[in-house]
Structure 1
Amino acid sequence: MDRLTFLGIIIAIAAIFGGQLLEGGSIDALLDWAAFVIVVGGSAGAVMVQSHSQTFFNAMKISVWAFVPPTQPVEQGITRVAAWSNLARREGLLGLEKNIDDSLEPFILKGLNMLVDGNDSDAIRKAMYVELDVLDKELLKAAKVFESMGGYSPTLGIVGAVLGLIHVMGNLSNPELLGAGIATAFVATIYGVGFANLFFIPVYHKLRAVIEEQSQYREMIIEGIACIAEGENPRVIEGKLSGYLAR
């Protein structure tokens, strides 16, 4: 669980509501379901129009990473690579093949299978970096869905404000309702700007950071498997990969 994400959202909401109270307003004035539906629903609909269905569903799937990011076991990965290297030197590639754990993620399994099939380090690097590039691009496209929502959200807030003002204009015969009606109309603008800058865009950047961490971990695995293919000493490999711990 990423406590910083939860803390950031709480502080942001508290700042908005606290500022409203300090200005002498009420919190109830900022709560408007119509504005929420227009901003969030409209932003989601707009991004559905521009996105491929698979990209949109991937975005919804990885959105949880902003709150519960997957951990990258870098230290454990280095230990695993060193163990694979020791096994390959001791029993050869055939021995390594017999001890491959099928529960490993498909990306790592592909690299190990290429290794036991006798591919050289250059072939392994080329093939796996191509796959890594494709994976990164797909995940970044999904993350950009939230960046796009952050772009549409303020405009939808203005749309909500205009719709509210249209409703106000219909009540010109009741002057006592005008003030409250105008205030409610502008709540949509607050929602639009607020969701963009306090949620959608920050979530995009958090997801991007998580994707970059995953990419570095996979890059480390590629280099480790390539070093095994080159026949390097397990201790040398472990020393090379330890540089990823400092990133």
Structure 2
Amino acid sequence: MDLTVILGMLFAVISLSTGDILDGGNPLGLLHITSFLIVIPTALASAMTGTSGDYVKAAYRELKFVFKKSPVNFQERINQIIEFSIIARRDGLLGLEPHINNIDDEFFKKGLSMTIDGIDIDEIETTLEILIDETEEYYHGAAHYWILAGETCPVMGLIGAVMGLILALQKLNDPVAMAEGIAGAFTATVTGIAGAYMFIGPIGNKLKAKSRHNIREKQIILAGILGIASGDNPRALEGKLFHYFSPLEEKKSKFEQ
């Protein structure tokens, strides 16, 4: 579970509710089922209209990815690449063949299989770069759906508020009912803005950010495979792969353990 997502949403709700309470309000008064139905499903449907069907499916399929901790471990992947590099230097590329079935990543397995089969290194690089581009486009399209839905929410909130005001103004002969109607109308605005900036929009941005982990892992694998195919020194190859680490990530050399 990715606590940054859960805690971020939770703290946002707590902060908003605390401010409302301190101002003498009741946060439960912001919960309005009619406003929710007007804003959220309509925004999601509108985003669906503006997004390719394949990416809409991907958006809901990858929703769990937003809330789960990223399974990518760059250090372990580099260690695995360096182990294969050592084997290839010692036993030749064919020495890697028995290890193919132990690879848990299809991208890595495909690239290493092409290397063992003696495919030209330029062709390997081109093929794997295409796969990386397609993966990046897949996640970008999925994230775009949620971001577009988030951007649509405030507008749907405005529409809901106007609809509520129209109904409220029809009750001029009942000031109490009219005031309740106006208050209910403005909950649509709150729902739209909160949906955009506290929930749906952040989901899209988080999906885009976390997809970078998968893309970066594939870039590391590509560089590792090209290094293995070229017969690079394992220690030098490890140093090259460490360049993909961010300043916040700790590097542990396999040769210094």
Tell me what 1:192 maps to. Answer: 192
Query: C-alpha displacement at 1:109, in angstroms?
Result: 1.4
With normalisation by structure 2, the TM-score equals: 0.91
Taking the TM superposition and a 5 Å limit, the aligned residue runs for 1:33-72 are 33-72=33-72
Tell me what 1:144 maps to. Answer: 144
Query: C-alpha displacement at 1:102, in angstroms?
Result: 5.6
Q: Verify: 1:242 aligned to 2:254, yes or no.
A: no
Query: C-alpha displacement at 1:104, in angstroms?
Result: 2.2
How far apart, in 2, do the equivalents of 1:114 and 1:49 lie? 40
Q: Verify: 1:82 aligned to 2:78, yes or no.
A: no
**2:17 aligned counterpart, secondary structure:** helix
Q: Verify: 1:175 aligned to 2:190, yes or no.
A: no
How far apart, in 2, do the equivalents of 1:28 and 1:177 lie? 19
Identity %: 33
2:92 maps to amino acid: G
1:86 maps to amino acid: I
With normalisation by structure 1, the TM-score equals: 0.94
- How many residues were matched structurally? 247
Tell me what 2:4 maps to. Answer: 4
Taking the TM superposition and a 5 Å limit, the aligned residue runs for 1:161-172 are 161-172=161-172
CA contact (8 A) 1:122 1:226 kept: no
2:218 maps to amino acid: R
How far apart, in 1, do the equivalents of 2:53 and 2:64 lie? 18
1:237 maps to amino acid: L
* Gap regions ≥5 residues in structure 1: none
Tell me what 1:159 maps to. Answer: 159
Taking the TM superposition and a 5 Å limit, the aligned residue runs for 1:88-99 are 88-99=88-99
Tell me what 2:114 maps to. Answer: 114
How far apart, in 1, do the equivalents of 2:30 and 2:86 lie? 63
How far apart, in 2, do the equivalents of 1:178 and 1:211 lie? 48
How far apart, in 2, do the equivalents of 1:5 and 1:157 lie? 24
Structure 1 vs Structure 2 CA RMSD: 1.5
Comparing 219-228 with 195-204, greater Cα deviation is found at: 195-204
